[in-house]
Amino acid sequence: MTDRLIYLPLGGAGEIGMNAYVYGYGAPGKERLIVVDLGVAFPDMDTSPGVDLILPDIAWLVERRAQIEGIFITHAHEDHVGAIGHYWERLGAPVYARRFTANIARRKLAEHGHPDSVVKVVAPFPQVVDCGPFKVSYLPISHSIPESAGLLIDTPDGRVLHSGDFKIDETPVVGDPWNRALWEDVSKNGVKALICDSTNVFSTAPGRSESTIGPAITEMMKEASGMVVATTFASNIARLKTLAMGARHADRSVVLLGRAMRRMVEAATEEGILDGFPAVISPEDALNVPRENLMLLVTGSQGERRAASAQLAQGSYMGLKLQEGDTFLFSSKTIPGNERGVIRIMNQLSELGVDVIDDAGGKYHVSGHANRPDLETLHQIVKPQFLIPMHGEHRHLREHVKLGRANGITGIVAVNGMMIDLSGNTPKVAEYIETGRTYLDGTAKVGAMDGVVRDRIRMALNGQMVVTLIIDENDEPLGDPWVEISGLSETGRSNTSLADIVEQDLSQFINRANAKTLRDDVKLEKELKTIARRSTQAEIGKKPEVIVIVSRLS
């Protein structure tokens, strides 16, 4: 069979977050593989209650461990690098990254006991990593974290450009500015496929530079009378710098609150990419500074319950307290699904008399991703034979394909698990891979479809009932069945205990049950469950989850 070039998203295509893409080249089934990014997504109460992190399902890769030549991380955001520590042992291939990203990746690997040597630092283009049939270079591109990069992947079937997360920003505050000449240069001899960020395809205005919001932030911090608190993603290092510089210009000392915030600034400082970032003071020292000379930079822009912002909103954090006249700035977008959490904090701040400023006007926040006109700019520069949108929900991918098509570029919607053959004159679906999400739940990894989380959701929606019955050595019931409830109203229609009512109905059944039924565990459990549910339904209008425990003495 002839060799082929394949692209397979395992995460990030059909969702925002959890990026994990695979490229392969070789005979079908024997391709040599590289992995681009290994990110995480974040759980929510609706679909993944109690889960700690969402990881891509990498079973397909693990089965092909021996074919993996390398893992390339485009930048240090959690949705691109967050899974590296959890998965490296099962993949075993060298990890490549630019210097700052490598710093972050090494911290994550160290948490799982892996040495720094796992990660190889790569300089930007024209440095080339030879990786089996692939030659890979890092193409600097502007984004909201330093040293973000797209990847130039030369293959025997032609050149592939993987955009990574990007925006077109000539003055990005930190990291490399947009370098049109570089992208023109690498595109001039023809590009087989552009695999391209899609998150902002519905944003029709041209993107704005990070540096456009600095003046408004400085102004706001000057005008505020009390303490100013600002929150954004800790990994949005560009914004951290914009906010800290604003504070300095407004004669405010900067305090970093929250572990992720301190960690990111530490890593960026270590790598020397936060030049000009003002010195920070400790929370203890801040207590001796007048509040009009303070700016707290805090975690929790998404309303996370345990983050610094939530704790400040509830009263205090590390001795620092908010009060009437203080100002709280959300310099961030609220990710869909997090609105309630953010609003809860806003209202708690309102109760304290704190003025809240949010992203409503776009005055204090710009996106780190390329808007629609900027995507078109990249398409026009690269002029790829194929456009494969990545990093987006289905609607983003589909819209991005439509956008490319309108400009004459062939595209295809490829969602997680769709292996695309890029070798021919049109991109084709080669195979559908069974994939999904893996939940990190405590320290266990469970498949999203394993039923574990489904059972939790059912208990949350329906409540839980435990029915216990003891059967003696002669297959006779020993006493009556009894019932424990959890998450159910204690009383119902009859105004007496729900458990009592259900126990009566169960006893009635048991007292009439014949010897055959009492000997048959399966039947007994099924009947008791049915009666418990029916009886609860009649009493309180709900059908609970029921666990039946039949204990047989022998």
Binding site for a copy of itself (CB under 8 A): 14, 44-47, 49-50, 202, 336-337, 339-341, 343, 346-347, 349-351, 353, 356, 360, 393-395, 398, 441-446, 452-453, 455-457, 459-464, 466, 468, 470, 478-479, 484, 486-493, 537, 540-542, 545, 547, 549, 551, 553
Question: In a 3-state reduction of DSSP, which class is residue 152?
Answer: strand
The rounded distance, in Å, linking the Cα atoms of 525 and 517 is: 10
Q: Please write down the HEC assignment for all residues of 202-225.
A: CCCCCCCCHHHCHHHHHHHHHHCC
Select 433 or 459, whichever has its Cβ closest to a copy of itself.
459
CA distances in angstroms from 243 to 142, 151, 240, 253, listed in the order given: 19, 30, 5, 11
Q: Which is nearer to a copy of itself, 188 or 402 (CB)?
A: 402
Q: Which residue's CB is nearer to a copy of itself, number 260 or number 460?
A: 460
Find the shortest distance in angstroms from Cβ 491 to a copy of itself.
Answer: 7
Q: Residue 172 or 417: which CB sits closer to a copy of itself? A: 417
Q: How far is the CB of 191 from a copy of itself (least distance, A)?
A: 27
In the numeric block, which tokens belong to residue 80? Answer: 């691109």
Residue 211 or 464 with smaller CB distance to a copy of itself:
464
The type of residue at 364 is Y
Which of residues 151 and 310 has its CB atom nearest to a copy of itself in the complex? 310
Instruction: Kindly give the pairing relationship between strand 418-421 and strand 428-432.
Output: antiparallel
Residue 478 half-sphere exposure toward CB, CA atoms < 13 A: 12
Given a contact cutoff of 8 angstroms between Cβ atoms, the answer to whether 298 and 280 are in contact is: no
CB of 281 to a copy of itself, least distance (A): 30
In whole angstroms, the minimum distance from the beta carbon of 328 to a copy of itself comes to 11
Amino acid at 417: G
Cα dist from 218 to 49, 140, 252, 275, 362, whole Å: 39, 29, 10, 19, 15
Indicate if the alpha-carbon torsion angle 190, 195, 200, 203 is positive or negative. Answer: positive
CB nearer to a copy of itself: give 259 or 340.
340
Q: Is 340 exposed, middle or buried (0-12, 13-18, 19+ CB in 10 A)?
A: exposed
User: Which lies closer to a copy of itself via its Cβ, residue 287 or residue 343?
Assistant: 343
**In the complex, minimum distance from the CB of residue 244 to a copy of itself, in angstroms, rounded to a whole number:** 27
CB of 482 to a copy of itself, least distance (A): 8
| Least distance in angstroms from the C-beta of 259 to a copy of itself | 19
Q: Which of 412, 403, 397, 408 is nearest to 198 (CA)?
A: 397
Residues 240 and 235: their CA atoms lie apart, in Å, by 8
- Which two three-digit tokens encode residue 128? 């080339």
Query: SS3 for 430?
Result: strand
Q: Which is nearer to a copy of itself, 478 or 515 (CB)?
A: 478
Give yes or no for a contact between 292 and 227, defined as CB atoms under 8 angstroms apart: yes
State the Cα–Cα distance between residues 551 and 554, nearest whole angstrom.
10
Of 171 and 486, CB closest to a copy of itself: 486
Alpha-carbon distances, residue 343 vs 134, 299, 302, 340, 346 (angstroms): 48, 16, 10, 5, 5
